[in-house]
């Protein structure tokens, strides 16, 4: 295979990051030039020794010092902190940056990578939620592609290939998470352990909790708005428990084109790295006969009202999507630390949005300052 692609993986030790490396392991043409992690230096060391990138960033400064000692025998440059992450994002030898860090920490590196003329394989949905109005025009200005890794957005992107740009509607599917069908009363005593059990996908902690509250689908609606230039009202969310139909596009003539497959993130990651080519994939063929039913139903937005909050924030735009995201990031952290209850996650988001006076067209510093203020005030209160 003569496929060659130099990539940087930001967040290489996470769920998306490790699966990206699995693909690179299979296709030697995908070369890892730079890697980054926050603090998991044990796994990062193993990855560094296997793939021999030229540059590695450890975001945590103290861990970076330890890491340098661990790999002193290798010819690898080690950088740290936020400046290190930006250096990795702009690493000259790379053509594409896979943004697989979690939360708003993906925003600045993505902007830096775009300015360094890298294509973006975008897993970090928070980037477009908070800064879509900055990132999308910037990508156009620098002539780089934003290729979706999020499975639903990859499915939509695949469904758009070879079709007219004008579409009628996007159908964004959601598994419904572990608490589908439950009432608010039944969710009162949910523990982090309960919420971390996702029925179909094995993902990082934050996105797993977000899937259970439907915040994840809310973030994805806003992500889709920016990626595909559609209005929020033209994005329909359907609960599809089997996670086989990964999302679809309805065209003007009512034709619905969808992408189907097993729930396996390696396909969307691989497609983002090989687009427009398709390379073979092992062990994940869809066997239709294993599924007795493929079901589709409307979400329960009374119990999982964060989805509606996201729609409103996405429609209003401005700083509200940042407020939605930042309050969720803070609330999920507190929930995982056992400091708030499960139902408080959505309550905190609701209050943060109600307490905010919107700013239209926020600058990057407005976004980062709002993120900091929202998180600080939520941590202070609990």
Q: Which stretch binds ligand NDP (CB under 6 A): 10-18, 111-119, 191-199, 269-277?
A: 10-18
* Region of 7-15, 45-53, 224-232, 327-335 interacting with ligand NDP (CB under 6 A): 7-15
Does 125 engage in binding with ligand NDP (CB under 6 A)? yes
Helix (H, G, I), strand (E, B) or coil at 371: helix
Q: How many CB atoms lie within 10 A of CB 361?
A: 10
Q: Which of these, 311, 308, 353, lies nearest to 328 by C-alpha position?
A: 353
Say how far apart CA 271 and CA 125 lie, in whole Å: 17
Stretch that binds ligand NDP, among 8-16, 156-164, 295-303, 360-368 (CB under 6 A): 8-16
Q: How big, in percent rounded to 5, are the helix, strand and coil portions of the chain?
A: 50, 15, 35
**Which 312-351 residues touch Mg ion, going by CB under 5 A?**
none
The distance from CA 372 to its chain's CA centroid, rounded to whole angstroms, is 20
Q: For ligand NDP, which stretch binds (CB under 6 A), given 97-105, 167-175, 272-280, 300-308?
A: 97-105
**Angle made by CA atoms 293, 160, 226, in degrees to the nearest 5:** 100
Hey, how many other C-beta atoms are within 10 angstroms of the C-beta on 213? 28
Q: Is 223 in the site for Mg ion (CB under 5 A)?
A: no
Stretch of 32-40, 177-185, 282-290, 372-380 lying at the interface with ligand NDP (CB under 6 A) = 32-40
Q: Which helix (H) or strand (E) holds 32?
A: strand 30-37
CB of 188 to ligand NDP, least distance (A): 26
Output the DSSP codes for 140-174.
HHHT--EEE-SHHHHHHHHHHTTS-S-EEEEEEEE
Per the structure block, which two tokens stand in for 377?
């005030």
Ordered alpha helix ranges (H), 90-242 = 107-115, 125-142, 151-160, 192-195, 205-213, 215-228
Min. distance of Cβ 202 from ligand NDP in angstroms? Answer: 7
What string marks each residue from 299 to 318 as x (binds ligand NDP by CB under 6 A) or -? --------------------
3-state secondary structure at position 136:
helix
17 binds, among Mg ion, ligand NDP, none (CB under 5 to 8 A by kind): ligand NDP
Regarding 201 and contact with ligand NDP (CB under 6 A), the answer is yes
Q: Smallest gap, in angstroms, from Cβ of residue 125 to ligand NDP?
A: 5
In angstroms, what is the minimal distance from the CB of 248 to ligand NDP?
17
Pick from 87, 150, 223, 300: which binds Mg ion (CB under 5 A)? 150
Burial (0-12, 13-18, 19+ Cβ within 10 Å), 73: exposed
Q: Which residues pair with 170 in a beta bridge?
A: 235, 249
The contact pattern for Mg ion, residues 56-95, with x = CB under 5 A and - = no contact, is ----------------------------------------
Residue 59 is a binding residue for ligand NDP (CB under 6 A): yes
Instruction: Choose, by CB under 6 A, the member of 6, 7, 8, 16 that binds ligand NDP.
Output: 16
Alpha carbons within 13 A on the beta-carbon side of 126: 26
Q: For ligand NDP, which residue of 89, 148, 150, 345 counts as binding (CB under 6 A)? A: 150
Contacted by 104, from ligand NDP, Mg ion, none: CB < 5 to 8 Å by type: none
User: Interface residues with Mg ion (CB under 5 A)?
Assistant: 150-152
User: Interface residues with ligand NDP (CB under 6 A)?
Assistant: 11-17, 37-40, 59, 85, 100-102, 105, 123-126, 150, 201, 203-205, 207, 265
């Amino acid at each position: 295979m003569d496929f060659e692609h130099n990539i940087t993986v930001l967040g290489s030790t996470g769920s998306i990051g490790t699966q990206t490396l699995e693909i690179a392991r299979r296709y030697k043409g995908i070369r890892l030039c730079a890697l980054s992690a926050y603090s998991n230096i044990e796994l990062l060391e193993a990855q560094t020794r296997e793939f021999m990138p030229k540059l590695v960033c450890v975001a945590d400064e103290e861990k970076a010092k330890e890491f340098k000692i661990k790999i002193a025998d290798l010819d690898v440059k080690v950088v740290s902190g936020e400046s290190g992450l930006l250096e990795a994002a702009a690493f000259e030898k790379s053509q594409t940056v896979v943004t697989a860090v979690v939360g708003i920490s993906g925003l600045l590196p993505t902007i830096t990578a775009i300015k360094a003329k890298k294509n973006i394989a975008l897993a970090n949905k928070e980037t477009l939620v908070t800064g879509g109005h900055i990132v999308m025009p910037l990508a156009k200005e620098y002539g780089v592609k934003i290729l979706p890794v999020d499975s639903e957005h990859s499915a939509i992107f695949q469904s758009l290939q070879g079709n007219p740009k004008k579409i009628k509607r996007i159908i964004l599917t959601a598994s419904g998470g572990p608490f589908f069908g439950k009432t608010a009363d039944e969710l009162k005593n949910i523990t982090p352990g309960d919420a971390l059990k996702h029925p179909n996908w094995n993902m990082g902690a934050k996105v797993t909790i977000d899937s259970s509250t439907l915040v994840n689908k809310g973030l994805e609606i806003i992500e889709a708005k920016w990626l595909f230039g559609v209005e929020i009202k033209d994005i329909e969310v359907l609960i599809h428990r089997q996670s086989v139909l990964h999302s679809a596009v309805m065209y003007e003539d009512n034709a619905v084109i969808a992408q189907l497959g097993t729930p396996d993130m390696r396909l969307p990651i691989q497609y983002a790295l090989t687009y427009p080519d398709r390379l073979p994939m092992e062990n994940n063929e869809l066997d239709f006969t294993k599924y007795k039913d493929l079901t589709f139903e409307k979400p329960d937005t009374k119990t999982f009202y964060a989805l509606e909050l996201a729609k409103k924030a996405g429609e209003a735009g401005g700083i509200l999507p940042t407020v939605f995201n930042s309050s969720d990031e803070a609330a999920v952290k507190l929930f995982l630390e056992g400091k708030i209850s499960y139902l408080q996650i959505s309550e905190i988001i609701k209050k943060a949005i109600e307490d905010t006076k919107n700013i239209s067209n926020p600058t990057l510093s407005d976004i980062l300052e709002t993120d900091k203020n929202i998180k600080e005030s939520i941590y202070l209160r609990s």
